[in-house]
Structure 1
């Protein structure tokens, strides 16, 4: 028979505790599918806080697509963080995007919907090509 553990001992033993200094994400929880929580900023080195959506619309032109022979990888698109980026999806959709998060398999940020920015995330495998300004 195992000795009885109190709740804090159980959390420590089974990984349910939080590290010292842990702050819960805003709005009651994290994002879905590995995306950051909605409205949360992104901490960049040096304590610089990047907020949410851009305060102005994207450029008024549509850039020319340069087809990629390779899958879109996080390292390539990470250079577009916090920059206006035009995205072409495999399903034929294309739009201006303002990425604020790049994960191993996904990207999230703000998608331009004609008159406003809307929070959006997708799997990197759905992106056919991209171009950042």
Structure 2
């Protein structure tokens, strides 16, 4: 299963949890070293990043700014910055290797 799931006709209508009105910070943070014993991101650890800018590093090497609007037991969802605009995304917590809130 791909780490991002978004149906081509998906539009988050009527959602009070829309994207931020502007771009995320203009810098790319340095990845923090991951603890050798850390296998998965705990939902309780990333939940405080909801409705804040958060930088995500994925296990496949990709990284990006996000604005999370949902943190579940096994997944997160929200808005991902793609250099020009916010797009809706979701991914499993086990796809995230590290994160940093701002």
| TM-score for both structures, normalised by structure 1 | 0.63
1:82 to 26, 51, 59: 51
What pairs with 1:23-62 in structure 2 (closer than 5 Å)? Answer: 38-41=12-15, 50-62=16-28
Return the structure number with greater strand share: 2
User: Does 1:116 find its partner at 2:85?
Assistant: yes
How many residues align structurally? 90
Computed over aligned residues only, the root mean square deviation of the Cα atoms, in angstroms, reads: 1.6
The alignment partner of 2:94 has SS state of helix
For structure 1, the 5+ residue unaligned runs are: 1-31, 42-49
Contact 1:67 1:128 in 2 (8 A): no
Higher RCO (C-alpha 8 Å, min separation 6): 2
Task: Give, in whole Å, the separation in 2 of the partners of 1:60 and 1:105.
Answer: 29
Supply the distance in 1 between the matched residues of 2:29 and 2:45 (Cα, whole angstroms): 18
Q: Deviations over 1:11-47 (max 9, x none)?
A: xxxxxxxxxxxxxxxxxxxxx8xxxx83453xxxxxx
Q: Which runs of 4+ in 1 moved over 6 A?
A: none
1:78, distance to aligned residue in structure 2 (A): 0.1
Larger radius of gyration: 1
Q: Secondary structure at the match of 1:60?
A: coil
